[in-house]
Amino acid sequence: MNNHFIRGVYAGSFDPLTQGHMYMITEGSKLFDQLIIAIGINPGKSYTFDIDERVDLIKESTKHLNNIVVETFENRFLVKYAEEKQCKYIIRGIRSESDYEFERTMRNVNGDLNSEISTVFLMPPRGMSEISSSFVKGLVGPEGWQTVIKSFLPDPVYYAMIKRFTVL
């Protein structure tokens, strides 16, 4: 690997992966030679999709991007994971003022732990700024939810959500 190879990391639980996440991944893939999608595992949290399903859904949703690697990490500071993977950048999405305040604080903590890894903030387009995994999961249930969530999810994730939540 030469010194000009630039690797970034984008981390989250991605439960489920949304179009907002896809925006971040697509933009990150343009910025770096390689973008690692790091799926965080929190043993105390209950998930809609288990870790293997999330890995598979992200791989399927990003197969058109040739510089994406999907990995998992657990019980680590993201900046330490980035350091181990030789990432020079962490990308984070900013949808609101509260996101900014939180991410700014995390950027400062990360900088204290490793000042050589920079955080890049990306802002999604207006139509995506309200999308979050929690928001999408909150739409599941009422009549017509299948139609409502379709525009918020990549196709592989949409079909997995339909399969997971449709009662026969």
95 is catalytic: yes
Annotated active-site residue in 4, 30, 45, 163: 45
> Which residues does 166 contact at the CB level (< 8 Å), separation at least 6?
146
Annotated active-site residue in 7, 21, 54, 92: 21
> Which residues does 35 contact at the CB level (< 8 Å), separation at least 6?
7, 8, 9, 10, 25, 28, 29, 65, 67, 68, 69, 91
Cα angle value 110/26/55 (rounded, 5°): 75
Annotated active-site residue in 7, 54, 92, 133: 133
21 is catalytic: yes
Annotated active-site residue in 95, 104, 118, 137: 95
Instruction: List the catalytic residues.
Output: 21, 45, 95, 133
